[in-house]
Amino acid sequence: MKIAAMFVSLAFLLAGCGNARIYAEGCAAPPDDWMTPRQGRSALSVLNVIDVSQADRIAWNGKPIPQSTFNDLLKHTSSLIPLPVTHIRFGPNVDCATVERLRHMVSNNLDCSYGMCAEGAGKWWMRGDALFDGQTSEPYDPDQSVVESKR
């Protein structure tokens, strides 16, 4: 009986090894110094958008690039002035190992402090750059202001 139980346990263990988690199922959270589009960015900032649909399918600002070019573009981005906000969007079927690897590459090549690295879906909310006495910088939804102006 113990041998049968051991084989069943071993079968469950081996079955779990082949099931890689995907982004839609929830990977580890992005690094602490990363932000989401809903948190907003400066209205004057430059934005790079990286779309990852599969481990080997990456688009940089809408242009498909090979995996080997990804790291080179990150290194080039790190030398730009002003430093662009780099926003990465993962497709739902991207495996978590790819998510972690690409996050690591972004974090190792760019200064992600001050909201310069972001992850997630959705449109960017913007924050104003010019504030007057007593005003605070608040994110807003640009689509909502268009809706309100048409009323």
Tell me the residue range of the domain where 67 lies. Answer: 32-127
Query: Would you state the pLDDT for residue 4?
Result: 46
- For position 6, what pLDDT does the model report? 45
Which residue ranges in the chain fall short of pLDDT 70?
1-19, 127-151
Terminal CA-CA length for the chain: 74
**Based on the structure, what is the number of domains in the chain?**
1
pLDDT at 137: 53
Residue at 20 is within a domain: no
Give the closest residue to 109 by CA, choosing from 61, 76, 133, 75.
75
Residue 147 lies in a domain: no
Instruction: Give the pLDDT of residue 37.
Output: 87
Say how far apart CA 114 and CA 102 lie, in whole Å: 20
Tell me whether residue 81 is in a domain. Answer: yes
Looking at the domain assignment, is residue 82 inside a domain?
A: yes
In a domain, 107, yes or no: yes
138 part of a folded domain: no
**14 occurs within a structural domain:** no
Residue 139 lies in a domain: no
- For position 146, what pLDDT does the model report? 42
